[in-house]
Structure 1
Amino acid sequence: ALRHSLQDRLSKSSSGKNRDEIYLKLRTSTAPPLKLIDLPGLDQRIMDESMISDYAERNDAVLLVIVPAAQAPEIASSRALRLAKEYDGEGTRTIGIISKIDQAASEQKALAAVQALLLNQGPPKTADIPWVALIGQSVSIASAQSGSENSLETAWRAEFETLKSILTGAPQSKLGRIALVDALAQQIRKRMKVRLPNLLSGLQGKSQIVQDELVRLGEQMVQSAEGTRAIALELCREFEDRFLQHITTGEGSGWKIVASFEGNFPNRIKQLPIDRHFDINNVKRIVLEADGYQPYLISPEKGLRSLIKGVLELAKEPARLCVDEVHRVLIDIVSAAANATPGLGRYPPFKR
């Protein structure tokens, strides 16, 4: 009823060259936002090809070539197919639809041509296009008006069974509107794979423009005291993340810190003359000298303190060497973390 109403309203200007468009929007949360453009039958009427090119030449448009089953034997001369090959020579965004199979059920020649297309055995120009078969639209709509909640699903299932009984030798995966939905989904995925690198490249370019603009705005902020503090704090956070990454994961020179404490430092400690220092005769000598040769003392604290001080003096040089090693490693890590902090590259004073 809606279609007939719109046709009646536009019948006065219907000359085959009218470019007036009819928009019908359907919104759903379970499907992507797609636009369907239904052009008049190209094989039945004269139509301005410039109007066709306005839609067909778009790279993101999927072309649906609809051919009635009765015309399948002459598919090679189809104007719709010719135009589709003109705008999509590789067939990467074209789907062939053979409609009204039920109306050609008694025409063996037409059915043979349809099955050849579905088996990818048709004319050469049809070989790289996926084909699906449908029954008449009016029949499908009528079967869907049963009033039940699953009427559409029931209609599609009935359509599939009808097609299976007519096209007995055709692949079942190419029969019915479910097959059409699958074919559309595959073509859309193919187009997304083709377009995605270009889209990502464009986004990266825009991202760089935005980053450059933010840098420009950031440099303007630094002219004020508040801006300087804000930038400094942000850079400190960025630098801290990079620095801790080196320390905690051992990335870069971070492993050298652990090597200093677990390798070089213990080895130097082991080389100290600790055994000689704690020899009983040496201990007696140190205690006697520290307490002024007073053997009657019960607790020679001065001697013990002197003994411990001597050990610490022995360990001072290995400890100093370990500190120097770690200091040099930390300087390298700070330099590497600063170079890996993008913000510091834009503000050399902060980096220094």
Structure 2
Amino acid sequence: MVRTYVGKPNCIILAVSPANQDIATSDAIKLAREVDPTGERTFGVLTKLDLMDKGTNALDVLEGRAYRLQHPWVGIVNRSQADINKNVDMIYARRKEREYFATSPEYGHLASKMGSEYLAKLLSKHLEQFIKARIPSITSLINKSIDELESELDHLGRPIAVDAGAQLYTILELCRAFDKIFKEHLDGGRPGGDRIYGVFDNQLPAALRKLPFDRYLSVQNVRKVVSEADGYQPHLIAPEQGYRRLIEGALNYFRGPAEASVDAVHFVLKELVRKSIGECQELKRFPSLQSTIAAASNEALEKFRDEGRKTVVRLVDMESSYLTVDFFRKLPQEMEIPKGGKPEAAAAVDRYGEAHFRRIGSNVSSYVNMVSDTLRNTLPKAVVYCQVKEAKQSLLNYFYTQIGKKEGKALSELLDEDPALMERRMQCAKRLELYKKARDEIDSVAWVR
């Protein structure tokens, strides 16, 4: 057990040995040499000088000839068992000790450096020097611990005020922190927003290319649609009603990719909301507020998606409601005229032939491709305007109007923290206070050189 204590580098070792025994066999000196080979921490103390045999003394030890230590040996004379039995007080014992060394013929010349009082002063001076030497490292360690605790408290968040106004301010600040991260994702400051461009640049064009226009504009289907549009009286020159039905039917296919683009962007926005909440360090301590913000954001995104769907479908319907006339005015000029024949004759011969219906399908396909190119450019604009732009500008606007109506209890519920986190913050605050007090105590000490 003794070795456990004296082995510590901050421990001062008092190697106490009786003067009436051989110093070479002292267990205290032996143990001190093992744990402190340099002798920096070891002070030799020689007792029972008054009990040595007549004609003998301990000058060889006290003067360092018999066994040298880095620090000088100190001889002391303690109370005898008889003095203890008689309850001789320490003041009287110290006076007798001083008288012993002052009047001793052997130790008189060392009297100023002998005795318990001198040993106490020697140890105090050494302890003072030892502490002074280690104050910079102790202060550095304390400052480092203070910085770490303050950093952890900043990470955990400071305690929330009980005032409703302060709580509302805190909630709004947390919402702004989340909204800032969300906008950074959209604007490219953080990853994720590029997936929206991927919807427009990859997903939408691929969906438009996969539309079944080849099947819809086959000769058989064109003949069927044109014949049904003519009714009981076939068309005379050009099957205008057939053209209109074919075009309207073809344009209806664009609804699917248009709405799919809206849904794809909606999914990306929801993912960015989830990521932004997870990346907002300030929100992590308030799970209830996290859930509330997520619900409010998703509710707003649902409204933006509904508006986006209406808008893109409206764009498709607009293309169906009014066809580009100039495109069809060119069609008669593009019809093939047999050599030596007249256009009317060619139309009469070809009106119900396969080439006639193939030409109608080709014309409709050209018009649909023109509309497809238009929608490929206009649909992303509609989606960005109705969903992305609105999400950037007014994602939490409705939530702000509702939170302003809540009272203290409802606000406190939103700022309800995890009990484990609250306990951790309290422990950190206590430790921080103790470290700061310790630093102040060290700084206030005026060391005497």
TM norm. shorter chain > 0.5: no
State the structure with bigger RCO (CA 8 A, min sep 6), 1 or 2: 2
**TM value normalised by structure 1:** 0.41
Which protein has the larger Cα radius of gyration, Structure 1 or Structure 2? Answer: 2
The answer to which structure has the higher helix fraction is: 2
**TM value normalised by structure 2:** 0.33
